[in-house]
Amino acid sequence: MAIIKLENLSKTYSSQVEEVQALKNINLTIDKGDFIVVNGPSGSGKSTLLNLLAGIDEASLGDIQINNISLSSLSDRERTELRRNKIGLVFQYFELIPVLTAWENVEYPLLLQKVSKSERRRKVDRILEQVGLSKMAQRLPSQLSGGQKQRVAIARALVTDPEIVLADEPTGNLDTKTGEKIIELMLNLNREYNVAFVIVTHDLFVNKYAQKLIEIQDGILKIKEVNEYA
């Protein structure tokens, strides 16, 4: 079942100096529970693609449909609402709120959703347990290692039960071993919650987990392989 459809999507950045066509005529379907890995050299347009999917940037041409609703037809407020409820984001630099503890960081999206206190407690405790950070719950981000921070970020992305998690180089700042653990965590969560993941990465080891492996080069998207899992 398709949750996201990209149709003839193009993105051009124009500055006074030049025009950069970051994405050229992209077509892609993301199904529920997909585990998609996106490769590509630096500057090829990977982040651009994720930003468009997250609705924090606007396409120049073409359309993105999420659950059959065209993103371009939504107001800024509606897109914010969509990110809040349907999309989880994981960043290369973790991007936790520094003044909040791990627990509070994970709680934050639930506060935005106005979830009740008891429900928040239940959900946050559960997801922190799943990412293996129950013991670190009261620590501030500054007191956590990179891998731990990224686990908190993943917990924050998943706590709202989104339909899709978009991760831009989630292992980019982690050593290979930690990176591998993070990807495995994502894969487990992907299977358990049937949440779609789109992971942009330079790390080749990630590719072996991919259900759909995609490569972008100079703004052109190619689907390299599709693996079916049981």
Partner 1 sequence: MLKIAWRNILRNKRRSLLSLVLILISVAVLFLLRGYFSATYDGLELMAINQYSHLQIAKEGFWNEGSEERKILSSEDINKITKILDAKEEVIDYTNTLEIAGILGTEDRSTIVSGMGIETDNGQNLEIKSGTKLFAGDETRVIVGEGVRKKLHLKVDEWVSIMATTIDGAYNAGSLQLSGSFSVGNDDADSHYIMMPLSFAQTMLNTDGVDNFKVMLSDTELTDSTIQELKREFKREGLAVEVRSWRDLANFYHQVKGLYDTAFFFLSILVFILIFMSILEIMSMSFFERMGEIGTIRAIGTRRSQVFVQLIEEALILGIIGGIVGVALGWGAGVIINNLNITYTPPSSGAVPLYIKLALNNGITPFFIIILATTLSALYPALKASRLKVVEMLRHV
Ligand X SMILES: Nc1ncnc2c1ncn2[C@@H]1O[C@H](COP(=O)(O)OP(=O)(O)OP(=O)(O)O)[C@@H](O)[C@H]1O
Among 93, 143, 191, 217, binds partner 1 (CB under 8 A): 93
Alpha carbons 4 and 194: distance in angstroms, whole number: 15
Binder of residue 44, out of partner 1, ligand X, Mg ion, none (CB less than 5 to 8 A by kind): ligand X
CA distances from 69 to 54, 55, 74, 216 (A): 14, 12, 8, 25
The partner residues of 199 in beta bridges, in order of sequence, read: 37, 167
Instruction: Show Cβ contacts of residue 182 under 8 Å, excluding neighbours closer than 6 positions.
Output: 147, 150, 151, 154, 170, 171, 174
State yes or no: residue 47 binds Mg ion (CB under 5 A).
Answer: yes
DSSP for 130-158? HTT-GGGTT--GGGS-HHHHHHHHHHHHH
Instruction: Show Cβ contacts of residue 75 under 8 Å, excluding neighbours closer than 6 positions.
Output: none
Work out whether strand 19-31 and strand 61-66 pair parallel, antiparallel, or are unpaired.
unpaired
Task: Specify the stretch interacting with ligand X by CB under 6 A; choose among 46-54, 122-130, 138-146, 157-165.
Answer: 46-54
Task: Specify the stretch interacting with partner 1 by CB under 8 A; choose among 21-29, 95-103, 115-123, 222-230.
Answer: 95-103
State yes or no: residue 89 binds partner 1 (CB under 8 A).
Answer: yes
State yes or no: residue 80 binds partner 1 (CB under 8 A).
Answer: yes
State yes or no: residue 47 binds ligand X (CB under 6 A).
Answer: yes
State yes or no: residue 33 binds ligand X (CB under 6 A).
Answer: no
How big is the site for ligand X, counted in residues (CB under 6 A)? Answer: 12
Instruction: Show Cβ contacts of residue 118 under 8 Å, excluding neighbours closer than 6 positions.
Output: none
> Cβ closer to ligand X: 80 or 92?
92
> Cβ closer to ligand X: 22 or 183?
22
State yes or no: residue 43 binds ligand X (CB under 6 A).
Answer: yes
Stretch 50-79 residues interacting with partner 1 (CB under 8 A) = 51, 54, 56-57, 76-77
Task: Specify the stretch interacting with partner 1 by CB under 8 A; choose among 105-113, 117-125, 143-151, 188-196.
Answer: 105-113
Among 3, 4, 6, 44, binds ligand X (CB under 6 A): 44
Strand runs labelled E in the chain:
2-14, 19-31, 35-39, 61-66, 69-70, 87-90, 164-168, 196-200, 212-217, 220-226
The two structure tokens encoding residue 66: 């999420």
The residues that touch partner 1, with contacts defined as CB under 8 A, are: 51, 54, 56-57, 76-77, 80-81, 83-85, 88-89, 91, 93, 95, 97-100, 104, 108-109, 111-112, 156-157
The residues that touch ligand X, with contacts defined as CB under 6 A, are: 13, 15, 20, 22, 40, 42-48
